[in-house]
Amino acid sequence: MYTAKVMDHFSNPRNVGEVENANGVGEVGNASCGDIMRISLQVEDDIIKDVKFKTFGCGAAIATSSMVTEMAIGKTIDEALILTNQAVAEALDGLPPAKMHCSNLAADALHEAIKDYRKQNS
Amino acid sequence: MKKIYMDNNATTAVKPEVLEAMLPYFCEQFGNPSSVHWAGRMVGGAIEKAREQVARLFNCSAAEVIFNSCGSEGDNHAIKGTADALKHKGNHIITTSVEHPAVLETCEALEKDGFEVTYLKVDHNGMLDLAELEAAITDKTILISVMWANNETGNIFPIEEIGEIAKKHKVRFHTDAVQAAGKIAIDVRKVNVDMVVISGHKIGAPKGIGAMYLRRGTKISRFMHGGHQERNRRAGTHNVPSIVGLGAACDIALKNMDKDYAYVRHLRDKLEAGILSTISDVKLNGHPDANLRLPNTLNVSFNYIEGESLLLFFDMKGIAASSGSACTSGSLEPSHVMGAMGVDIVLAHSSTRFSLSADNTDEEIDYILQELPPIVQKLREMSPLYGR
Amino acid sequence: MKKIYMDNNATTAVKPEVLEAMLPYFCEQFGNPSSVHWAGRMVGGAIEKAREQVARLFNCSAAEVIFNSCGSEGDNHAIKGTADALKHKGNHIITTSVEHPAVLETCEALEKDGFEVTYLKVDHNGMLDLAELEAAITDKTILISVMWANNETGNIFPIEEIGEIAKKHKVRFHTDAVQAAGKIAIDVRKVNVDMVVISGHKIGAPKGIGAMYLRRGTKISRFMHGGHQERNRRAGTHNVPSIVGLGAACDIALKNMDKDYAYVRHLRDKLEAGILSTISDVKLNGHPDANLRLPNTLNVSFNYIEGESLLLFFDMKGIAASSGSACTSGSLEPSHVMGAMGVDIVLAHSSTRFSLSADNTDEEIDYILQELPPIVQKLREMSPLYGR
Ligand SMILES: Cc1ncc(COP(=O)(O)O)c(C=O)c1O
Ligand SMILES: Cc1ncc(COP(=O)(O)O)c(C=O)c1O
Ligand code: FES
Ligand code: FES
């Protein structure tokens, strides 16, 4: 069902947890659809220094969360904002068609966290 | 790697003795039993022997057994066939909100054709209120359809009492016994029931074969039109090898029923007690009285964790189970059974079913009880809902 | 004793390679393909491979193949599913008077529900008048259902021409290709057809499995309600071993089609010529042009003799064939196909079908040609109709 990359990120997820002293937090999804994703950030000089996730969801949801944190780290917030759901799915060598909506969550959560950072620091 | 199969309510392995019994009927005794020649004659007896074996499981006469292609077909036939045969009498059907889709979606299809359907609620243990059932009967009611046991929780419904209510009000009674068959007695002489549906692949026979008990004299329209097989009740060339397999599986199930009940229940109870005592925030789904559940089924919700993730981690340890999470079904909603029981939405997504068979062992239970806690812990640490 | 099987239109033996392909899926790879674990994963690929193999026989895409339980189910689904899906457009169906009961009785059932059905006549060769077919189309016509080849006579219908007529009038077109499949090309890219039904046990796969080609975009209601298998079109746990078997059988049939056509036709033509030249008062049933019949089918009436008696004597010599006599069917009327062709009633009761396969041999034909004349003679001498 899942690619080797998805299974790798699912079974050894990177950056699980909450960033201490986060200056941006985003949460998307809801329990009724079976998925909730929270991303917390530490941004310094517009660069994402640290990012962590917590996810309630399927294998694809956890793998995309893990992947999006790896992709975001070290990026400027402008670069991170143009990171697409599609790019996350592609970085995992694709997702099953029924699971594409899970990848939507990962990039969305990241973008929400960045918006939160901007709100806090404007 | 270890392979521990605990998804027997989804499907079972074919029992080696069953396959053995089937094998001569593919390439050698391959005839069509309706034919007037050696090839036909070789198989007619095999079908009638299998019919006797299935009849013994129901404790009915062989003439009351109809072979069909699966549990879904049996449910479709029983319900649509009754609706059509009795539509001059009324247009009301009573069923429950926790039936298998083969019953629920069939009833929903009939609603589009002008039938009215009452979907009985269940309480938080997944049980029916029989007074509510009786009160739902009107003079338009032509059918009550209540499953013998639920596939997700293992809950056993009071078929005997429901049969009495049906009899008192002279309403036909159908029960989907796909999960009950082979695990507990489904004796149609002890309970008042008109139609009972079973499926081969839940009891060690192959996929693609099923049977229905149809009480003598019960008028039902055909579901499958065509040839006059099965006394004109089910068209289509007889699936001889699978019919033979279903007969053999019923025979074995009946012989081993008491022994298997005790053994499987011992394993299940051990798993249940182990999980509930070693892992926090676990909720049992189904009736707390183990006597009111099938001996092989355990359904628990590991709070804060989505079911598919859990299954994938189980799978990495060789453990095969199933979940009521929406993510495993491809739909957007979690299990309708959990929903009907009023299980909180997160717990519904977390629901996990272990369904055992007599092939499981004590060692396997020990292994699961050892592997489970760290998996649950790991996933909880990833969960935004945990420790809030 | 010799055993010569010439009843392949009734059912075929499972091919050893087909059984071989199926065997791992009973006891070892037994999972439910819908499951999220090793047992489910082991079989999902097998189903999709089989779907590709079946798709190649139809020359369609894999997504256009629906697995079901038999030819009868396919015909029921195609016709009832269309009637329900298109009832807002019209209530008229066109079929022929020589269809298999799976089509005829399904249409008759729909007549009870308010549909109107035109049963096209056939001529004494068993062929249709296409002008009559076209003239029967009204603005209420929602379906044309004409079999690709007839099971009794082997007659091949002009599916390409009928497809053009259907297209011109924008009417959906279903064909029962249960007998055509594996014997002649059933290429849905060459002919305009929306639904094509096949059955495993006529082509060396087991009984109890079938498939339907459903052209992309064709709206059809469900026949079997329940789980969401087969893209929501056919409920019921996938019959994995039989699906694998059907795939393998389609693969073999496609590879051997030309070779088998030539070989089987040679045998059949030899049997046909032999019978017609050595026995008097024999009538060929079906089209006299052998190109317009399936290569394997020979239907002849041995005048003055009732079919069942003939089959019993054949059987004593190990020869398995079938008959259109009422006495073999348990009904009171002889074959409706013979009736529709205007075959005299005595000749209808005398009609005898030899349906060959590539497993038959020249020696078997020689043996039949040697055994037949004395049997026919013996029975004729018993007949009050003979020599009057
Ligand atoms: C032309 C035709 N259609 C349909 C069927 C029904 O197929 P099945 O026996 O698989 O239901 C048959 C054979 O019995 C047939 O010959
Ligand atoms: C309670 C119940 N009814 C009906 C069915 C349908 O059976 P089948 O898969 O044989 O169509 C199942 C299993 O899938 C079941 O668990
Ligand atoms: S979280 Fe439910 S499908 Fe991915
Ligand atoms: S003559 Fe005996 S059944 Fe026809």
3-state secondary structure of A38: strand
Burial of B184 (0-12, 13-18, 19+ CB in 10 A): middle
| Structure confidence at residue B327 (pLDDT) | 81
Mutate to test the interface with B, among A30, A58, A64, A103 (most CBs of B within 10 A): A58
Helix (H) or strand (E) holding C22: helix C16-22
CA C86 centroid distance within chain: 26
Q: Quick one: residue B378, left, alpha or beta (phi over 0 = left, psi -120 to 50 = alpha)? A: alpha
Question: What is the amino acid identity at position A44?
Answer: E
Tell me the C-alpha distance between A113 and B289, whole Å.
Answer: 47
Task: Give the residue from chain C lying closest to B315, CA to CA.
Answer: C37
What is this model's ipTM?
A: 0.95
Any atom of ligand 4 within 6 Å of the Cβ of C327: yes
Q: Does B105 sit within 8 Å of C225, measured CB to CB?
A: yes
In angstroms, rounded to a whole number, what is the distance separating the alpha carbons of residues C301 and C349?
Answer: 8
- Ligand 1 pocket: which of C175, C198, C202 to mutate (most atoms <8 Å of CB)? C202
Looking at the CA of residue B236, tell me the nearest atom of ligand 1. Answer: 11
User: Any CB–CB contact under 8 A between A98 and chain C?
Assistant: no
Q: Which helix (H) or strand (E) holds A40?
A: strand A35-44
Give the span between the Cα atoms of C282 and B358, in whole angstroms. 62
- How close is the nearest chain C Cα to the Cα of A19, in Å? 33
Which of A7, A11, A34 is nearest residue B306 as measured by Cβ atoms?
A: A34
Triad B162, B165, B170: Cα angle to 5°: 120
User: Phi and psi dihedrals of C39, rounded to 5?
Assistant: -70, -35
Q: How many CB pairs under 8 A join A and B?
A: 64
3-state SS, one letter per residue, for B233-269: CCCCCCCHHHHHHHHHHHHHHHHHHHHHHHHHHHHHH
Residue A33 is classified by DSSP as G
* Cα→Cα distances C216→B185, C62, C80, C210, Å: 46, 10, 18, 19
Instruction: Name the nearest CA neighbour of B78 among B167, B159, B174, B162.
Output: B174
Decide if pLDDT at A99 tops 90: no
Entry field: residues in chain A = 122
Q: What is the reported pLDDT for C330?
A: 66
- Taking the C-alpha atoms of residue A48 and residue A58, their distance in angstroms, rounded to an integer, is 26
Q: Is C312 on the interface with B (CB under 8 A)?
A: yes
Ligand 4 centre from B308 Cα, in Å?
Answer: 62
Q: Of the candidates B102, B108, B311, which has its C-beta nearest C36's C-beta?
A: B311
CA B25 to chain centre: 27
Whether residue C236 and residue B70 make contact (CB cut-off 8 A), yes or no, is yes
Closest Cα to residue C227, out of C32, C43, C62, C61? C32
Catalytic residue (choose from A6, A102, A110, A114) = A102
**Residue numbers in A near C36 (CB within 8 A):** 1
* Bridge partners, B67 (sequence order): B211
Contacts of B312 in chain A (CB under 8 A): 7, 10-11, 59
Tell the residue nearest (CA) to atom 3 of ligand 4: C327
Amino acid C316 reads M
Give the Å distance between the CA of A56 and the centre of ligand 3: 9
In this structure, are residues A37 and A29 in contact, taking their beta carbons and an 8 Å threshold?
A: yes
Cβ distance C318 to B19 less than 8 Å, yes or no, reads no
Query: B384 vs A61: CB contact, 8 Å cut-off?
Result: no
Task: Characterize C173-207 residue by residue with b for buried, 16 or more Cβ atoms within 10 angstroms of its Cβ, and e for exposed.
Answer: bbbbbbbbbbbbebebeebbbbbbbbbbbbbbbbb
The alpha-carbon gap from A114 to the nearest alpha carbon of chain B, in Å, equals: 18
Tell me which ligand sits closest to the C-alpha of residue B157: 2
In terms of Cα–Cα distance, which of C321, C320, C2, C324 is closest to B38? C320
C42: Cα separation from own chain's centroid? 33
The answer to whether residue B321 neighbours chain C at the CB level (below 8 Å) is yes
Mutation to probe ligand 1, out of C100, C150, C242 (largest number of atoms < 8 A from CB): C100
Tracing tokens 């097989």 back to the chain, one arrives at: B229
Q: What is the pLDDT of residue C34?
A: 86
Nearest Cα residue in chain B from A13: B382
Residue B88, number of CB atoms within 10 A of its CB: 7
Dump pLDDT digits (tens) for A10-38. Answer: 999 999 999 999 999 999 988 777 789 99
Do residue A31 and residue B385 have CB atoms under 8 angstroms apart?
A: yes
C329 lines ligand 4 (CB under 6 A): no
The pLDDT tens digits for A59-95 are: 999 999 999 999 999 999 999 999 998 999 999 999 9
Interface of A with B in 56-95 (CB under 8 A): 56-59, 61-62
Sole residue written with tokens 């088998």:
C260
- CATH of the domain spanning A4-120: 3.90.1010.10
Residue A34 in tokens: 């079976």
- Label residue C380 left, alpha or beta by phi (over 0 means left) and psi (-120 to 50 means alpha): alpha
Distance CA B248, CA B56 (A): 11
Beta bridge partners of C5: C320
Q: How far apart are CA A40 and CA A53, in angstroms?
A: 6
Closest CA to A69 of A49, A46, A90, A95: A49
Encode chain C (388 residues) as per-residue pLDDT tens digits.
799 999 999 999 999 999 999 999 999 999 998 898 999 999 989 999 999 999 999 999 999 999 999 999 999 999 999 999 999 999 999 999 999 999 999 999 999 999 999 999 999 999 999 999 999 999 999 999 999 999 999 999 999 999 999 999 999 999 999 999 999 999 999 999 999 999 999 999 999 999 999 999 999 999 999 998 999 999 999 999 999 999 999 999 999 999 999 999 999 999 999 999 999 999 999 999 999 999 999 999 999 999 999 999 999 999 999 999 888 776 778 999 999 999 999 999 999 999 999 999 999 999 999 999 999 999 999 999 998 7
Contacts of B345 in chain A (CB under 8 A): 31-32
Instruction: Point out the ligand 2 atom lying closest to the alpha carbon of residue B210.
Output: 10
Q: Which atom of ligand 4 is nearest to the CA of C308?
A: 4
Return the residue of B nearest to A52 by Cα. B382
Measured CA distances, C329 to B307, C12, C283, C298 (Å): 54, 19, 21, 19
- Chain centroid to Cα C16, Å, comes to 22
**CA–CA separation, B287 vs B115, rounded Å?**
32
Our CA-based measurement puts residue A37 at a distance from the nearest CA of chain C, in whole angstroms, of 22
At B7, is the secondary structure helix, strand, or coil?
Answer: strand
Can you point out the beta strands (E) in chain B? 4-5, 65-68, 92-96, 116-120, 141-145, 172-176, 195-199, 210-214, 282-284, 297-302, 319-320, 322-323, 351-355
Backbone angles phi, psi at B174, to 5 degrees: -115, 140
Task: Give the predicted TM-score (pTM) of the model.
Answer: 0.96
| Strand locations in C169-327 (E) | 172-176, 195-199, 210-214, 282-284, 297-302, 319-320, 322-323
CA distance C237 to C56: 24
Question: Which of B335, B339, B305, B342 is closest to A35 using CA atoms?
Answer: B305
pLDDT at residue C109, as a whole number: 97
Q: Are B383 and A56 a contacting pair at CB < 8 A?
A: yes
- Domain ranges in chain A? 4-120
C76 and chain B in contact, CB less than 8 A: yes
User: Contact at 8 Å (CB) between B11 and C30?
Assistant: yes
DSSP C46-73: HHHHHHHHHHHHHTS-GGGEEEES-HHH
What chain B residue is nearest to A16 in terms of C-alpha separation? B382
- Per DSSP bridges, beta strands C319-320 and C4-5 are parallel
Task: Kindly identify the ligand whose nearest atom is closest to the C-alpha of B225.
Answer: 1
Active site residue C327: yes
Does the beta-carbon distance from B384 to A56 stay under 8 Å?
Answer: yes
Distance CA B304, CA B281 (A): 9
Taking 70 as the pLDDT cut, the residues of chain B under it are 330
The two tokens of residue B361 are 């062992």
What is residue C84's three-state secondary structure? helix
Q: Does C228 touch chain A (CB under 8 A)?
A: no
Q: How many angstroms separate the CA of residue C125 from the nearest CA in chain B? A: 24
Q: How many residues does chain C have?
A: 388
pLDDT at B148: 98
Strands B195-199 and C322-323: unpaired
**B53 at the A interface (CB within 8 A)?**
no
Of B11, B225, B319, the CB nearest to C237: B11
Atom of ligand 1 nearest to the CA of C150: 1
- Cα Rg of chain C (Å, integer): 21
Closest CA to B182 of B300, B364, B355, B365: B355
Q: Which amino acid is at C190?
A: K
Nearest residue (by CA) to ligand 4, atom 2, is C327
Q: What is the DSSP letter of A16?
A: B
Indicate the burial class of C112 (C-beta count within 10 angstroms; 0-12, 13-18, 19 or more): exposed
| pLDDT score of B330 | 66
Mutating to test ligand 4, I would choose from C323, C325, C327, C332 the residue with most ligand atoms within 8 A of its C-beta, which is C327
CA–CA dist A95, A106 (Å, integer)? 13
Give the number of whichever ligand sits closest to the CA of residue C7: 1
Q: Whose CA is nearest to atom 8 of ligand 2?
A: B71
- For residue C326, the model assigns a pLDDT of 82
Q: What is the pLDDT of residue C91?
A: 98
DSSP C227: S
Burial of A100: CB neighbours in 10 Å, binned 0-12, 13-18, 19+:
middle
Residues in chain A with CB shorter than 8 Å from the CB of B308 are 57-59
In this complex, which chains have at least 3 CB pairs below 8 Å with chain B?
A, C
Tell me if C122 sits within 8 A of C91, measured CB to CB: no
Which one from A33, A76, A86, A98 is the annotated catalytic residue? A33
Q: Using an 8 Å CB-CB cutoff, list chain A residues near C63.
A: none
